[in-house]
Chains A and B, each alone.
Chain A
Amino acid sequence: MFNICIDVGGTFTDCLVMDSKGSLRQFKSPTTYPDPSIGFMSSLEKAAQGFEIALQSMLSDVDLLIHGTTLATNTLINRNGAKTGMITTRGFRDVVEIRRGYKNIRTSMYNVFVPPYDPLIPRHLRKEAEERVLFDGSVHTELNEDDVRKAAAELKEKGCQSLAVCFLHSYANDDHEKRAAAIAREVMGDDVYITTSADILSVWREWERFSTTSVSAYTGPEVKRYMENLVSRLDENQFGGTLLMMLSDGLVETVEYCKPRVVNLIGSGPAAAPAAAIYMGNAAGQKNLLSFDMGGTSIDIGLIQDGRIPTTTDAWVQDERVAIKMVDVKSAGAGGGSIAWIDSLGLLRVGPQSAGSTPGPACYGNGGEDPTVTDLDIALGYMDPDFFLGGEIPLDPELSRNAIQDKIGDPLGMNVNEAAQAAMTTVVSYMADQITEISTTVGFDVRDMAIVAGGGAGPMHAPFIAERLGVPNVIVPTIAATYSAFGMFAMDVGRNYARSYIVRADNLELDRVNAHYDDMREEAVDGFASQGVKPEDGVFHRTCEIRYIGQYHEVEVDMPDGHLTDAHIQTAIEAFHDRHKELYTFNMHWKGVEFLTFRLRATAPKKPIHMQSNELAGPDASGAIKGHRDAWFDGKIFDTPVYDGGKLGAGNEIQGPAIIEEPTTTVVVPASYRCTVDNLHGYQLELKTKSQADAGVTL
């Protein structure tokens, strides 16, 4: 029996397989465009070859396949989603363009030279229908079905492939939205992707709900098509297990659940990375971590305080407000495929343009003429051109050097070695600045954290970034190359449920609260069935949101399981007073409170991961040296030892500068670091103390 996690990134598709003994094996293959399901299947084929069985035999023996994809995010960021229309309450078609007056999203209030927001659904594709529901769910004005028919016909005529139905107060009563969607379905046909706002985010505040719904509608058709292709390819190959998609909130769901709610796949792959960092951090005794995932096109950074996965409901993705709960991971445009270039001022820059997997870096020999970060790695001797992905893809170092000389060296009057080093300094300082910005804007000093380096290119660059920032510890997990995919193994399976019931504590009807929780539990048990989880394995965690009457924001507190009584409600209110004080330094016992949203989180405990530990060995690592090669450190060339990662044993110590080669990744140990091999075959890099360096331990 196999369990598999597949993470489709911008450049590579990572596949991590756990067999029945609990041992992990990782496989990588290029991400394919326009249909990433081809690359998905290639990675599985590679895995089957690795296990020396037929693909069909392997797939028929899979229990769980968890899948993360950047497709929804990329569709939004590249603005290549479907032509989308909206039908909304008459008088309110501009809610998503007015967007509560938010202007300063990533810019300061003192910067007025910014282009106005360009909405995903332009104004002429936002149509109105007469209808009105009030905050208590009562109907003020019946739905005018002719308006809906007319609007749907116009949007179909204009070529919309997707439709968002967004009515006011639909969280309290979604009859009109459902009816309008049904009419639109009749008029526009089965090919059109139809989304209703109450189905996407059933909470009040119309702009947050409509915006999130627009994102879902805009990215929906593309991602749905992809998931359908995927399911049919798996079916054709005798897939016998359960396929679950990795969600932005760090949980997983079925394809059927995701298809009409694609916004939940925004940030799908990167959302798993913090779980991997926490797992690795635990093993190393570190709780404050910086998860650094460097792939082909971007770096994803997650800040972990006290071992908790950071989440947010305040996210903006590009210029769009996405109000669902998301794992808080920030991206920056610099990866192995990012292009180094000279700007109009003659300054050296890196990214955000990327050579992707086609044509890819110059050294691929696929016609790429621009030097990428990967080309720099080769020119500087960090990467062995004959050992990329364990030698699967041969690289041509001459092409790297030519590209560097032509595009950087010549314009700046440098030789190829100088040009490569200058460009690498730019890459490292750019990434270091990104990390500083992300950590210090929330008040953390990066020097108090350990960097967990993942992604194919992470272990080669994170140590240099750590050196630049003075970060003392870098952890490189053995599964670095399939880091996010590993995170998918390390987290829970389950779903979040919510019911709104806005009521002052003294008017609260216990029966209604109990009915809501019973309802959610029933839904959760059904959900478990679709995920292949037995109800008795489920863990149910109830919470509710409370605020002081008059406040605009609520605080989430725990609610006990089982049938609730008045005493339980009182306990929750006491917990609210305490939590309010903890969060905000004060509370107000004299003031009444109101309940707003009741929540249930239903999860199934993850299967334990048995990573094979390697044999204990002494500090002497010399037996694993497979050779030496010239590599550049601090502007000097060193005859650098190259270690075969497969031959290193737990407890082996390696002094920088050194290079460690694994089939799917390369670890570079700078001169100022010492590396210890841990018993899970990962690497712990530690900054040498000044006295060690002075004592000449360095070389």
Chain B
Amino acid sequence: MSRNVDPITLSTTWHAFQSIAREMRHVIDRTAQSYLLAQLHDMAAGIWDAQGRTIAVPEGPTSMFLSQHFCVEYILEHFGDDLHPGDVFCTNDPYHSQCNHLPDWGFIRPIFYDGELVFMALTRGHMMDTGGSFPGGYFPNGYDIHAEGLIIPPIKVFSKGRERTDVLQLLWNNVRFPEGVKIDNFSLMAALQVCENRITAMLDKYGKDTVLDCVEEMIDRMETSVRSQIRDMPDGTYYGESATDDDGTTLDEQVWVRLDATVKGEELTLDFSKSDDQRKGFVNCVEASTFSRAVAGAFLYFDPELAPFHNAGSMRPVNVICRPGSVCNAQYPATVGGSPVNVGTQILEATVMALSKARPDKAIAGWGRRRGHYLSAIDPRTNERYVQTTTDADGGAGAVSGYDGFEGAMGMSGLGAIQRGSVEEIEIKFPWRTVNYHFVPDMSGAGQYRGGSGMLWEVENLGTDAPVATGSSDGDLTQPPGVQGGDNGPLSRMYIRKGDKKTPARTHRMIEVKTGEILGKVSGGGGGVGDPFKRDPSAVLKDVINDFVTLEGARNTYGVVIDTDTMTVDEEATDALRASA
């Protein structure tokens, strides 16, 4: 086949798809009212083609991104002859269309050109409520998927450009904050409209055939590049594993994800079959969620130059196997509410554990665990009920070969694409006052390269008594893994404080923070890479000066003795201490 592709048109259209997807994200960011969407960027926007192949997914949380073709393919398969210009679908259903969990509502718009279906645009974001047992999501103890909220299989909410108001009313009637959810629904749908406008303009300019030729070229070029990246990994099978604290229903029993990663020539197989069976509790991932995390983990080992351009071609040489009935491929009616944080994160961690063995020169440690929560109460300033969540307490990134972990980056599932909140914006919007928000010394996984630091985060409840679901927290019992002799990220803890009296609180539970009480979290940071005794003593000194590491930590964990009079490394004592180990 001879493709009508000149280098500048290819480069321009390729970048244009990326920039359209970024613009979709921008529209959501600017118009949404949910804190998660607008401030923390817990959303995805992208473009797929008429066969459901991924064209552009530049940035978003790993939970709902690289596997959206499962959802697009489902719609193509079930509505293939009933797709029309102006249709918009809505779905959040894990078991019909492979959505991640119920709060993440997806909107899909087929894009036609000259009467022919050419692309599928999709946006997805975490709604402030989706019905079910508890506002917001991450309720740890639902009986089955029906207890977790309204389940929406792919349905048309716009048909040939006409709003199906009755259908939308049915959805909004089943959520707790219908007005807020309505705004966010319109925000996600507006981004689809923008996408259609931009794509139509691009097709007008270059011609449909040229653009479609460019798409084929983009996919082929990525496939070729990724195959050559895999060829650079030595053939073999590499094992990785990681656990979450518990499933929120059977308490204190850890749930394991286990991975055999096999490199053979130009193909990579990620087989999660040995993972635990699906659980009663809310940690189960559907196949698409597992696929998305696993592929994201693999991308980290490929040339960073490819990073912004990944598409369906990148996924062709990567084969993900998920055993039906396991926590990595849950079957109806398993609950899935907590899976983006619990088991979801572990899939990513198990992937980097295994592939860091395949590419020891590109080792990656686990990042500080998520320390989120969802709560709902009344704001006395307006007498209105609100729902709130946070990413602020998470520890930093894990270390990598050559660099310490990125300070301040939140949980690994975001890979830096999800942000933390603004203290001032939170205080304007919600009746919570932040009391403390800073790094804590000795709270990172030690190593030749250390993990990003953990945090102390405390907030005071100025509203009515607040029930809190701690389902989006993990790491009381389990740790983000270190690699190549680097320490795991430290354990995290949580408490409710009244004056000086602290009552411990746990992950995956329902707790209550009363008016005037303080919710406190001390998070563990990321894991380390390499032996801490091999860390450059001057880097340890710098950490001590900046109070990331204490003098005792320097001596005991890193084998570095610091002369406190001169604040320099006592090299002789350090050498002796390190030699005696």
Give A contacts to B, CB under 8 Å: 91-95, 97-104, 107-117, 122-124, 134-135, 140, 168-169, 204-208, 436-437, 440-443, 445-447, 469-470, 502, 548-553, 580, 583-586, 588, 591
Please determine whether A112 and B364 come into contact, CB atoms closer than 8 angstroms. Answer: yes
Please determine whether B547 and A169 come into contact, CB atoms closer than 8 angstroms. Answer: no
- B421 shortest CB reach to chain A, Å: 8
Q: Which one, B32, B194, B394, B546, contacts A123 given CB within 8 A?
A: B546
Q: Which one, A552, A585, A591, contacts B179 given CB within 8 A?
A: A591
Q: Across the two chains, which residue of chain A brings its CB closest to B367? A: A112
Please determine whether B415 and A553 come into contact, CB atoms closer than 8 angstroms. Answer: no
Q: Does B154 contact A (CB under 8 A)?
A: no
Q: Does B328 contact A (CB under 8 A)?
A: no
Report if A553-B11 is in contact (Cβ < 8 Å); known contacts: A204-B428, A205-B422. Answer: no
Q: Which one, A94, A104, A550, A584, contacts B417 given CB within 8 A?
A: A104
CA distance A94 to B437 in the complex (A): 7
**Residues in chain A near residue B391, CB distance under 8 A:** 101
Please determine whether A111 and B194 come into contact, CB atoms closer than 8 angstroms. Answer: no
- A552 shortest CB reach to chain B, Å: 4
- A222 shortest CB reach to chain B, Å: 24
**Residues in chain B near residue A440, CB distance under 8 A:** 11-12, 15-16, 19
Q: Which one, B307, B408, B427, contacts A111 given CB within 8 A?
A: B307
Q: Does B183 contact A (CB under 8 A)?
A: yes
- B32 shortest CB reach to chain A, Å: 7
Q: Which segment of B71-79, B269-277, B396-404 sits at the interface? A: B396-404
- B225 shortest CB reach to chain A, Å: 13
Q: Across the two chains, which residue of chain B brings its CB closest to A103? A: B416
Beyond contacts A99-B408, A110-B310, A586-B193: 5 other A-B pairs, Cβ-Cβ < 8 A, are A113-B402, A443-B198, A553-B30, A583-B30, A585-B194
Report if A94-B439 is in contact (Cβ < 8 Å); known contacts: A103-B416, A112-B364, A206-B422. Answer: yes
- Sample of 10 A–B contacts (CB below 8 Å): A93-B438, A98-B420, A99-B408, A104-B415, A110-B300, A112-B364, A169-B427, A204-B425, A553-B29, A591-B179
Please determine whether B408 and A101 come into contact, CB atoms closer than 8 angstroms. Answer: yes
Q: Does B423 contact A (CB under 8 A)?
A: yes
**Residues in chain B near residue A107, CB distance under 8 A:** 304, 307
Please determine whether B300 and A586 come into contact, CB atoms closer than 8 angstroms. Answer: no
Q: Does B469 contact A (CB under 8 A)?
A: no
Please determine whether B406 and A103 come into contact, CB atoms closer than 8 angstroms. Answer: yes
CA distance A437 to B18 in the complex (A): 12
CA distance A112 to B397 in the complex (A): 9
Please determine whether A436 and B11 come into contact, CB atoms closer than 8 angstroms. Answer: yes
Q: Does B180 contact A (CB under 8 A)?
A: yes
Please determine whether B20 and A443 come into contact, CB atoms closer than 8 angstroms. Answer: yes
Please determine whether A205 and B32 come into contact, CB atoms closer than 8 angstroms. Answer: no
Q: Does B405 contact A (CB under 8 A)?
A: yes
Please determine whether A584 and B183 come into contact, CB atoms closer than 8 angstroms. Answer: no
**Residues in chain B near residue A169, CB distance under 8 A:** 424, 427
- A131 shortest CB reach to chain B, Å: 13
Please determine whether A436 and B546 come into contact, CB atoms closer than 8 angstroms. Answer: no
Please determine whether B546 and A98 come into contact, CB atoms closer than 8 angstroms. Answer: no
**Residues in chain B near residue A207, CB distance under 8 A:** 422
**Residues in chain B near residue A585, CB distance under 8 A:** 27, 190, 193-194, 197
Q: Which one, A206, A445, A446, contacts B424 given CB within 8 A?
A: A206
- Output the residue of B23, B29, B427 with the most chain A CB within 10 A: B427
Please determine whether B180 and A550 come into contact, CB atoms closer than 8 angstroms. Answer: yes
Q: Which one, B12, B422, B546, contacts A100 given CB within 8 A?
A: B422
CA distance A169 to B422 in the complex (A): 11
Please determine whether B16 and A114 come into contact, CB atoms closer than 8 angstroms. Answer: no
CA distance A205 to B426 in the complex (A): 9
Please determine whether A548 and B183 come into contact, CB atoms closer than 8 angstroms. Answer: yes
**Residues in chain B near residue A580, CB distance under 8 A:** 31
**Residues in chain B near residue A108, CB distance under 8 A:** 58-59, 304, 307-308
Q: Which one, A91, A112, A553, contacts B300 given CB within 8 A?
A: A112
Q: Which one, A93, A114, A208, contacts B403 given CB within 8 A?
A: A114
Q: Across the two chains, which residue of chain B brings its CB closest to A314? A: B26
Report if A552-B33 is in contact (Cβ < 8 Å); known contacts: A101-B418, A115-B403. Answer: yes
Please determine whether B299 and A116 come into contact, CB atoms closer than 8 angstroms. Answer: no
**Residues in chain A near residue B421, CB distance under 8 A:** 100
**Residues in chain B near residue A205, CB distance under 8 A:** 422, 424-425
Q: Does B419 contact A (CB under 8 A)?
A: yes
Please determine whether A552 and B397 come into contact, CB atoms closer than 8 angstroms. Answer: no
- B542 shortest CB reach to chain A, Å: 9
Report if A584-B30 is in contact (Cβ < 8 Å); known contacts: A447-B8, A469-B8. Answer: yes
CA distance A348 to B113 in the complex (A): 45
- Output the residue of B8, B416, B417 with the most chain A CB within 10 A: B416
Q: Does B407 contact A (CB under 8 A)?
A: yes
Report if A113-B409 is in contact (Cβ < 8 Å); known contacts: A123-B546, A135-B428. Answer: no
**Residues in chain A near residue B414, CB distance under 8 A:** 101, 109
**Residues in chain B near residue A98, CB distance under 8 A:** 407-408, 420, 437, 439, 455
Q: Does B435 contact A (CB under 8 A)?
A: yes
Q: Which one, A101, A135, A437, A549, contacts B416 given CB within 8 A?
A: A101
**Residues in chain B near residue A97, CB distance under 8 A:** 407-408, 439
**Residues in chain B near residue A99, CB distance under 8 A:** 408
Nearest 5 A-B pairs (CB), nearest first? Answer: A103-B416, A108-B307, A550-B33, A111-B304, A440-B15
Q: Does B47 contact A (CB under 8 A)?
A: no
Please determine whether A443 and B16 come into contact, CB atoms closer than 8 angstroms. Answer: yes
- B446 shortest CB reach to chain A, Å: 15
CA distance A48 to B326 in the complex (A): 83
Please determine whether A124 and B407 come into contact, CB atoms closer than 8 angstroms. Answer: no
Please determine whether A109 and B190 come into contact, CB atoms closer than 8 angstroms. Answer: no
Report if A113-B403 is in contact (Cβ < 8 Å); known contacts: A92-B438, A552-B39. Answer: yes
Q: Please, what's the 1-or-0 string for B288-300, where 1 marks a CB less than 8 Å from any CB in chain A?
A: 0000000010011
**Residues in chain A near residue B12, CB distance under 8 A:** 436, 440, 445-446
Q: Across the two chains, which residue of chain B brings its CB closest to A91? A: B436
- B433 shortest CB reach to chain A, Å: 7
Report if A443-B420 is in contact (Cβ < 8 Å); known contacts: A101-B391, A552-B32. Answer: no
Q: Which one, A101, A112, A115, A584, contacts B194 given CB within 8 A?
A: A584
Q: Please, what's the 1-or-0 string for B425-449, where 1 marks a CB less than 8 Å from any CB in chain A?
A: 1011000011111110000000000
Report if A584-B419 is in contact (Cβ < 8 Å); known contacts: A92-B438, A110-B310. Answer: no
**Residues in chain A near residue B186, CB distance under 8 A:** 586, 588
**Residues in chain A near residue B31, CB distance under 8 A:** 551, 553, 580, 584, 586
Q: Which one, B400, B408, B433, contacts A117 given CB within 8 A?
A: B408
CA distance A550 to B128 in the complex (A): 12
CA distance A101 to B197 in the complex (A): 32
CA distance A111 to B307 in the complex (A): 7
- B63 shortest CB reach to chain A, Å: 13
- B379 shortest CB reach to chain A, Å: 12
Q: Does B558 contact A (CB under 8 A)?
A: no
Please determine whether B397 and A103 come into contact, CB atoms closer than 8 angstroms. Answer: yes
Q: Does B452 contact A (CB under 8 A)?
A: yes
- B181 shortest CB reach to chain A, Å: 11
Q: Does B119 contact A (CB under 8 A)?
A: no
**Residues in chain A near residue B35, CB distance under 8 A:** 552
- A110 shortest CB reach to chain B, Å: 4
**Residues in chain B near residue A441, CB distance under 8 A:** 15, 18-19
Q: Which one, B27, B409, B546, contacts A122 given CB within 8 A?
A: B546
CA distance A169 to B180 in the complex (A): 27
**Residues in chain B near residue A135, CB distance under 8 A:** 424, 427-428
**Residues in chain B near residue A134, CB distance under 8 A:** 427, 433
Q: Please, what's the 1-or-0 string for B167-202, where 1 marks a CB less than 8 Å from any CB in chain A?
A: 000000000000110010011011001100110000
- B183 shortest CB reach to chain A, Å: 6
- A212 shortest CB reach to chain B, Å: 14
**Residues in chain A near residue B39, CB distance under 8 A:** 552
**Residues in chain A near residue B233, CB distance under 8 A:** none
Q: Does B555 contact A (CB under 8 A)?
A: no
Q: Across the two chains, which residue of chain B brings its CB closest to A171? A: B424
Report if A92-B59 is in contact (Cβ < 8 Å); known contacts: A109-B415, A114-B406, A116-B407. Answer: no
- Output the residue of B33, B425, B458 with the most chain A CB within 10 A: B33
